[in-house]
Amino acid sequence: MFKILRDLLRYNREFAIGFVLTLGVFLFALAHFWAPMPDSAIYLLPPDMPPSAQYWFGTTSRGQDVLWQMSSAIWNTMLFGITVTILSRLLAVAVGMISGYLGGKWDEALMTLNDTMIALPNIPILLLVYFVMRDSMSWPVLAATAALLGWNYDARLIRSVTLSLRNREFTRHAVFAGMSVPQILIRQHLPYVMPVIFFTAMNNLIWAIGLEVTLSVLGFSDINRPTIGGMIYWANQHQAIIAGIWWWIVFPIIAIVLLFLGLFLLAISVNEYIDPRSRLSRMGA
């Protein structure tokens, strides 16, 4: 594992840049555990202070330090994104592989469900869930709802890969040798589907973070829990742009762009690594 990481850093510049960016943003987010004040506290500091040696990224109109707010916000946003990604990947892989491999009635039933989900508009449904849940709306509920909406395109993609694998010789051989359906799916097909899962996972993570930002900017989330979108929501509420408090909006946006960029670079380079052919050609073997 350690050796793989070292090789990737040495031979793959995209990976190195993506790794450094993501690690940097992650460490920055991790720092919120050592924050000098709780992230929910307001009016502890003088409001509207521009970036200075004392307050590196300035303070908000609500008397919070932008630095520590951002640290918590990125942590919460990433947590949300990763939860959505993991949940929706589980759904997408299960649905895609089962419907692709078993075919027939399973395929029909699952793909009908899948296509129905594709046809449903995401944002209105999330808003509906928010209005129904209202007070009991917490981020895990929102993440679960987003995950239920975010698996369908990728399930179709994974299904298409499995569909072609089903008719390959190695599958027929495995069936003949007496491997069971779960064994074939996990041992024979999953490694093949893995790059697809990885790539869609990165896309999904970026989509989930974007969704979280969208909902929070509109105020449809737990607004007392700092997130990137939540920060922009509060900045808008206090008319930060008109008031010239640019640091309240610019720094969160820079952070999220760096995170997106890092994740994207990681996605393409890890993808290249997983395919043994492109890995070897890169290493010159």
Partner 1 sequence: MLSVVEKTPLSVDAAPVLKVEGLKAYYQMNYFGVRREVRAVDDVTLTIKRNEIYGIAGESSSGKSSLIKTIAGAITPPLRVVEGSVKFDFGGKVLDVYGEPERMKKARWQHLSYIMQGSMNVLNPVRKVKHAFHDFAFEHMGLSERAFRERVEKHLQRIGLDPRVLESFPHQLSGGMRQRLTIALATVCEPDFIIADEPTTALDVLVQQDVLALIKDIQRRMGASIIFVTHDMTVHAAIADRIGIVYAGRLVEEGPTLDVFRQPQHPYTAHLIASLPRLGDKTRRSALPGKPPNLAEPPSGCRFHPRCPLAIDKCKTDNPPLENRLSGRVACWRAGEVAAA
Q: Determine which residue in the list 6, 10, 13, 168 makes contact with partner 1, applying CB under 8 A.
A: 168
Give me 208's structure tokens: 């989930």
CB distance 253 to 57 below 8 Å = no
Instruction: Give me the helices (H) in the chain, please.
Output: 2-11, 13-30, 66-102, 104-119, 122-133, 139-149, 152-166, 169-176, 181-183, 190-217, 228-237, 240-243, 247-274, 276-283
Minimum distance, C-beta of residue 277 to partner 1, in the bound complex (Å): 6
182 sits near partner 1 (criterion: CB under 8 A): no
105 sits near partner 1 (criterion: CB under 8 A): no
Q: Report the C-alpha gap between 100 and 160 in whole angstroms.
A: 7
Number of residues that bind partner 1 (CB under 8 A): 21
276 sits near partner 1 (criterion: CB under 8 A): yes
Q: Determine which residue in the list 1, 4, 53, 177 makes contact with partner 1, applying CB under 8 A.
A: 177
Q: Report the C-alpha gap between 116 and 100 in whole angstroms.
A: 18
Q: Which stretch binds partner 1 (CB under 8 A): 123-131, 191-199, 215-223, 233-241?
A: 191-199
Minimum distance, C-beta of residue 82 to partner 1, in the bound complex (Å): 26
- The 8-class DSSP code of residue 180 comes to -
Q: Which stretch binds partner 1 (CB under 8 A): 107-115, 144-152, 177-185, 238-246?
A: 177-185
Q: Report the C-alpha gap between 80 and 169 in whole angstroms.
A: 41
Q: Determine which residue in the list 144, 175, 218, 258 makes contact with partner 1, applying CB under 8 A.
A: 175
Q: Report the C-alpha gap between 195 and 163 in whole angstroms.
A: 16
Q: Which stretch binds partner 1 (CB under 8 A): 14-22, 67-75, 150-158, 175-183?
A: 175-183
Contact set with partner 1 (CB under 8 A): 168-170, 172-179, 183, 187-188, 191-192, 194, 275-277, 280
